Amino acid sequence: MELSVKLHRKRAFVTGAASGLGAAICMELAKDGWTIGMCDNRDKPLRAKMKEVDAAGGTALRHMFDVTDRAAYQKGVKTFIHDAGGIDLLVNNAGVAGGGFVGDYLLDDWEWLLNINLMGVVNGCHYFVPYMKEQRFGHVLNVASAAALAPVSRMAAYCTAKAGVRMLSEVLYNELYDYGVGVSVLMPECFRTNLHERTRGQVAETGKWLLENAPYTAEQVAVAALQGVERNQLHIFFPRNVRLWWWFSRLAPKPFIDFIRREGEKRYKNAEFGMRNAE
């Protein structure tokens, strides 16, 4: 990868690294011999994925903590910086899903989702960015979603969190511009992952069906993400239609919102039809 030439020290820290997109990014980096701080709060799958990363040519460093645990995160960052000698690429990927109408989706679930999907990213930036500013190099990749653009009914908590990640990334881009540190925010469409295993709310089963039947893989998204970082893109869209959504949302916001309402209902109906046929 050109990224391995650009960030030739090849030291990355990836959250949510035991499965899904995080694991796929780790495997892509491992092919080029990166040292990777692999962070997750699930020990057994983390250890299993670390073995795969080592076998693929990378060097996996185990970091077992929850991204919402600030004290553990701060300690983990200090340990990684000491062991790796610095940080070249931070991937804030850890996330969960949830869905339900506003007023029905429990406030405890709102707090749970926002703490992981938004504050987990904030924590990563808060503790790693000072080292990057001191180094005056490196790159931050924050994983949001096409949901950062699209106001999907029943997904208010998830959309709110991902929109927050997008705005955080845009502000961080400006703050780090003069330090030579790059920032990207990844906004992919729905892709196949095990995110449904950590889902709360009334539409969990519908979300599971949509994820399991999505047309894209985590590996495809990982490649697109790292290529976007190579190009120093602030906004990384996958697939191409998400870029069209971006322009649609900015040039004609009300028609775009109406389009998302209709598209969302169509997808829910397709999912319900698919689940009935599978029974």
Give the model's pLDDT for residue 249: 96
Q: What is the pLDDT of residue 209?
A: 65
pLDDT of residue 266: 84
User: Which of 103, 146, 95 is CA-nearest to residue 119?
Assistant: 95
Domain containing residue 69: 2-278
Lay out the sheet containing 89-92: strands in order across: 59-64, 35-40, 11-15, 89-92, 139-143, 182-188, 235-238
Cα(235)–Cα(230) distance, rounded to whole angstroms? Answer: 12
Q: How far apart are CA 203 and CA 186, in angstroms?
A: 24
The predicted pLDDT at position 153 comes to 92
Domain count, the chain: 1
Comparing C-alpha atoms, which of 97, 185, 122 is closest to residue 148? Answer: 185
Residue-by-residue DSSP string for 250-267: HHSHHHHHHHHHHHHHHH
Residue 139: what pLDDT? 98
User: What amino acid positions are annotated as catalytic residues?
Assistant: 158
User: The domain that contains 208 carries what CATH number?
Assistant: 3.40.50.720
Q: Which two tokens stand for residue 226?
A: 């790292």
pLDDT attached to residue 271: 66
106 Cβ neighbours under 8 A, 6+ residues apart? 100, 200, 201
- This prediction's pTM: 0.94
Contact 93, 22 (CB under 8 A): yes
pLDDT means over runs of 10, the chain (279 residues)? 95 97 98 98 97 98 98 98 98 94 95 98 98 98 97 94 98 98 96 76 69 87 98 97 96 97 84 62
Give the pLDDT of residue 265. 87
User: What pLDDT does 232 receive?
Assistant: 97
